[in-house]
């Protein structure tokens, strides 16, 4: 009987340890999931910002091409004068 009680106590301690580990791992998983979601949000924000900057650059390049075209035409007119 004493051996059986010892085995039950050992198994109970093992179960308590497993429960504590499960709790710790569950908490770590939740924290890591929250961190991962924050990182995904940051990446999405940076991607949106990069797209906006690319659009702005494209717009400036287009405007610059128009201005350069006008300067070339102006120079041709001035040369002809």
For 21, the 3-state DSSP assignment is helix
* Residue for token pair 């979601």: 37
pLDDT digits (tens, 9 = 90+) for 21-79: 999 999 999 999 999 999 999 999 999 999 999 999 999 999 999 998 888 878 776 67
Distance CA 73, CA 50 (A): 34
- Residue 80 confidence (pLDDT) above 80: no
DSSP secondary structure of 19-79: HHHHHHHHHHHHHHHHHHHHHHHHHHHHHHHHHHHHHHHHHHHHHHHHHHHHHHHHHHHHH
- Judge whether residue 2 has pLDDT over 90: no
């Amino acid at each position: 009987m004493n051996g059986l009680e010892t085995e039950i106590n050992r198994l109970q301690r093992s179960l308590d340890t497993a429960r504590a580990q499960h709790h710790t791992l569950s908490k770590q998983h939740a924290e890591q999931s929250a961190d991962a979601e924050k990182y995904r949000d940051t990446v999405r924000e940076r991607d949106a910002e990069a797209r906006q900057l690319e659009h702005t650059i494209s717009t400036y390049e287009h405007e610059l091409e128009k201005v350069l075209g006008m300067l070339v035409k102006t120079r041709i007119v001035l040369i002809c004068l």
